[in-house]
Chain A
Amino acid sequence: MSALQQYGLLLGLTLGTVGFVLSLYMLARSLAKTRKEPGKDVPAASGQLSRDPVWVRYHARYYGYALLFLAFDMEMAFMYPWAVVYKQEGLVALLDMGVFLAILFLGLLYGWSQGALRRQ
């Protein structure tokens, strides 16, 4: 299969899954109908509407980790092509990426020492 055909197949599977789910919903509807009754559609909170609105800003207490995560995630984008050619390039590749990873790891240690790795 050519690459284009492969991605075409993946698109087909995605659309097929949507179709499968829709047919499941239709099957469910033919089995039983959802009756409209008052109080039924209240979100789970002991049967009462919650006092405060839910869609508000939350304090993401892991934001210290999240910032470090961005740096590491970017680095991983470089790691995959590097990993494929690693054996051909040999020791040079190890040293190149070793220096890069060492700097990144120092960054992690620095963040750790500054208290980035804790619940804020």
Chain B
Amino acid sequence: MTTALLLLLLAVGAYLVAVIEDWTTSGRFRLAAPAFAALALLGRESIVPRKSDRVFFETAPVLLLISALLAATVIPLTANLIITDLATGALFINAALVYVLVALLMAGWGPNGAYAMIGGWRFLGQLIAYAMLIVMPITAVVMRAESLLTTQIVVSQAGLWNIVYQPLGFILFFVASMALAFLPPFDLTTAKGELAGGVEAEYSGARLAVFRLGRLVLIITLAAAIVVFYLGGWQGPWLPPWAWSAIKILAVTTMMLLAGRYMPRIRETDLLGWCWMLGIPLALLNILLVGLLVLVLP
């Protein structure tokens, strides 16, 4: 029952992400646009490129969707509203989201097209840049919560949200999440206008619809993860818990989608350089600071 409700909420969330993304790119707020776009995609031809690796080509969109969906299962909207409260929740999010890389590499290799291939290899470089900035801030969050349970992580922020307790971790995790969801300015793997869509270039029709759906679910999942890890999850005064979750998740989604609109696309070399020369030292500093705070504060 909870599972069905949460899957429905996830679908509504993904739809709202599409509406918000449309608003941030075109400036118009059209509630029905994603539905029409999806119908149009389903009605179009879905072409398989010649001499393609059929297994990789077919698996990639499905795997992207599955990976984002599995990560969403361990994210609580209220204390009880969660699909599986896994004992290894915070680690499971990482484990599930690594398959985003696998899916995008498959989408790059599968169609046997040059642009897609470059997009796929680029994302591998992007993973090497952002991956540490996903796992290290989560470690610091776990140190405070003393548990990998995501519900426990939210409860641990009752007095003070993690965004105040470890602001450095929040910034790093936020940027790394944008890179993981290949949102601009980190959209190296799709790179509209430069790679003709990159890994998306050879997909059309229903397969493209599934690919885009996977991406939308990925964005809403990451926004929800940021809320759970740093913004106190369902906690807040006056309103009921589920309302707080919804408000925070939508606010974070809007921030993620808006933030990149005013920046040029970053080069892969620069991304790697920034992440390893600045990001990882800062993430280690964050672990040290949180370690000291956990010991000093009662």
Contact of B24 with A by CB under 8 A: no
Write the chain B residue with the least CB distance to A67: B128
Q: Which A residues from 16 to 58 make CB contacts under 8 A with B?
A: 17-18, 21, 24-25, 27-29, 31-35, 40-45, 50, 54-55, 58
Cβ 8 A contact of A76, one of B48, B69, B117, B139: B139
**How many pairs, one residue from A and one from B, have CB atoms within 8 Å of each other in the complex?**
174
| Interface range for A | 35 or more
Contact of A110 with B by CB under 8 A: no
Contact of B154 with A by CB under 8 A: no
Contact in complex: B116, A43 (CB < 8 Å): yes
Contact of B78 with A by CB under 8 A: no
Please measure, in the bound complex, the distance between the C-alpha atom of A87 and the C-alpha atom of B143, giving whole angstroms. Answer: 7
Contact in complex: B295, A3 (CB < 8 Å): no
Contact of B114 with A by CB under 8 A: yes
Contact in complex: A87, B146 (CB < 8 Å): yes
Please measure, in the bound complex, the distance between the C-alpha atom of A118 and the C-alpha atom of B113, giving whole angstroms. Answer: 28
Contact in complex: A105, B281 (CB < 8 Å): yes
Contact in complex: A34, B272 (CB < 8 Å): no
Contact in complex: B112, A54 (CB < 8 Å): yes
Write the chain A residue with the least CB distance to B112: A54
Cβ 8 A contact of B124, one of A32, A60, A80, A119: A60
Q: Which residues of A contact B124 (CB under 8 A)?
A: 60
Contact of B62 with A by CB under 8 A: yes
Contact in complex: B294, A86 (CB < 8 Å): yes
Please measure, in the bound complex, the distance between the C-alpha atom of A8 and the C-alpha atom of B62, giving whole angstroms. Answer: 19
Known: A43-B114, A86-B143, A105-B284; 17 extra A-B contacts, CB below 8 A, are: A6-B86, A10-B84, A17-B69, A21-B61, A21-B65, A27-B206, A28-B42, A28-B46, A33-B45, A34-B46, A41-B47, A45-B113, A62-B128, A80-B148, A84-B142, A94-B291, A98-B291
Write the chain B residue with the least CB distance to A12: B3
Contact in complex: A79, B139 (CB < 8 Å): yes
Contact in complex: B70, A13 (CB < 8 Å): yes
Write the chain B residue with the least CB distance to A102: B284
With A1-B84, A66-B128, A91-B295 as given contacts, are A44 and B197 in contact (CB-CB < 8 Å)? yes
